[in-house]
Amino acid sequence: MKLKKLLSLVLLGSMVVSLAGCTSEETTSNGEASEKISITVATYSDPFEVDIVTSQAEAYMEQNQDVEIIIEPISGDFWEVLKTRMFANDEPDIFYMDLFQAGQFIEAGKLAPLDDAMTPEDIADFEASLLNGFKGEDGVLYGIPKDFSTLALYYNKAMFEEAGLKPPTTWDELTKVSKALTKDGVVGLSLQNGIDRAQPFFYSNGGSMMKDGKPTLNDPKNIEAYEYWIGLIKDGYAQTPQQLGVGWDGDAFASEMVAMTIEGNWMVNSMLELAPDLDYGVVPIPKKEQPASMQFTVAYSLSNNTEHPEIAKDVIKFLTSAEQQQVVADAGRSMPSRKTALEEFKVKWPERAVFADLAPVASEFNYGVISSTVVDETAKAMERVLLDDSVTVQQAFDDAQANIDKALEQQ
């Protein structure tokens, strides 16, 4: 059932009282009780994330003694938990909003507008592409990006040097080095066979996943690009993590089962744990017609049910301020979404600068209200092509597009 329909049922029959935006009591020095305004902020349960947001919340409370920020890490499927709490009108005041999920929450009318939470100067400091995915059809902003990531090509320096090769910059070069490095039990390239890794190839080939607000999986340029992508796998120069018997590309690259892989800046931290002594480099994804990458971003969004919207907006403004974005930059895990902080990030983490530089050419991991359907249908299409040689990319993508169009009509 659609989110909007479930919300409508709840609005008709639910008598649940929201706990978000409540107040708490504290005792003053003269023994009198005073109330603090409580603002809840939901985060992922990852300890790294929780620590950063907690330290930021403490900094805010030091400056605003009448406000108490309660951090609520959500374990398991963050989005399902958030939707369930929304059905009960029990969602936090502020919560993470993934670019991929934003469309359905905006359409359901569960997010509060945030245009007035930022000055024009603040807005101009964010990468425009990071803001676009959090705008509704009305042009209103419903999320302020807290950080982002892009994709690039990781390569094993020792393997390249031994083979006398340089990192590839074009598709032709990628094919040649993948073929040359597929030997002695090593595969040239590891590729996660999904839209969240293949999409840069679509755009590099002049394709697109969205046109006039509608998903366009079977764009001829996308089909041509995926034929190249799947050809690398079927020729044996690339393999999926599943074919390699590992959980993800990072495991394959860290264990030197492959010479190259396409991943995000998050893998830098993973490599420090999995293979701290491995000498590797990172370069832009090889291009066809134009450079391309992919953008993943998470914002802070505000519940329409919050009892203290102005204070909650002030909290969001603080959490995404230039000063607090610098906290994100210093942590080095994700990249700050403000341009000024991003420049500082590149200075402090020069080995990760390539990811920051790819921001202007990174397409969005966002396909509107039916993003989940687009990803699911694309995954099925790609799996069909991978496992069945009789199925062409054209057939698989056309079938998936038909299902996507049907889902869009039902909205």
- What are the φ/ψ torsions at residue 358 (nearest 5 degrees)? -85, -5
| Statement: residue 394 has pLDDT above 60 | yes
Q: Give me the domains of the chain, ranges plus CATH numbers.
A: 12-149+295-364 (3.40.190.10)
pLDDT band at residue 294 using 50, 70 and 90 as cut-offs: very high
Which is nearest to 102 in space by CA: 375, 377, 372?
Answer: 372
Determine the residue type at 79: W
| Average pLDDT of the chain, as a whole number | 90
* Contact status, residue 158 vs residue 279, Cβ threshold 8 Å: yes
* Contact status, residue 344 vs residue 331, Cβ threshold 8 Å: no
* Contact status, residue 336 vs residue 355, Cβ threshold 8 Å: no
* Contact status, residue 222 vs residue 206, Cβ threshold 8 Å: no
| Statement: residue 276 has pLDDT above 50 | yes
Percentage of the chain lying above the pLDDT 90 cut: 79
- pLDDT digit string (tens) for 321-334? 999 998 888 887 88
Q: Whole-angstrom Cα distance, residue 71 to residue 55? A: 10
Q: Whole-angstrom Cα distance, residue 378 to residue 401? A: 8
Cα 244 to Cα 241, 256, 398: the distances in Å are 5, 11, 29
The alpha carbon torsion through 344, 348, 350, 352 (nearest 10 deg) reads -80
Q: Which pLDDT score is estimated for 132?
A: 87
Which is nearest to 362 in space by CA: 170, 96, 127?
Answer: 127
Cα 172 to Cα 29, 232, 288, 291: the distances in Å are 73, 11, 8, 14
pLDDT band at residue 221 using 50, 70 and 90 as cut-offs: very high
| 31, two tokens | 């023994």
Q: Whole-angstrom Cα distance, residue 116 to residue 367? A: 26
Which is nearest to 150 in space by CA: 345, 368, 400?
Answer: 345
Average pLDDT over residues 295-312: 96
Residue predicted with more confidence, 100 or 144: 144
Residues facing 152 on adjacent strands = 263
Lowest mean pLDDT among 18-32, 86-100, 137-151: 18-32
**The whole model's pTM is what?**
0.87
Total H helices, total E strands in the chain: 19, 13
Using only C-alpha atoms, the chain has a radius of gyration, in whole angstroms, of 23
* Contact status, residue 334 vs residue 327, Cβ threshold 8 Å: no
Return the ∠ at Cα 48 (arms to 42 and 49), rounded to 5°.
25
Q: What is the DSSP letter of 141?
A: B
Which is nearest to 402 in space by CA: 227, 221, 224, 217?
Answer: 217
- The burial of 204, by beta-carbon neighbours within 10 Å (0-12 exposed, 13-18 middle, 19 or more buried), is given as buried
| Statement: residue 161 has pLDDT above 80 | yes
Residue 190: its H or E element = strand 187-190
- pLDDT digit string (tens) for 5-33? 444 333 333 323 233 344 444 444 444 44
pLDDT band at residue 4 using 50, 70 and 90 as cut-offs: very low
**What is the b/e burial string over 79-89, where b = at least 16 CB atoms within 10 angstroms of the residue's CB?**
bebbbebbbeb
Q: Which pLDDT score is estimated for 34?
A: 55
Cα 399 to Cα 36, 200, 218: the distances in Å are 56, 22, 9
Q: Which pLDDT score is estimated for 183?
A: 96
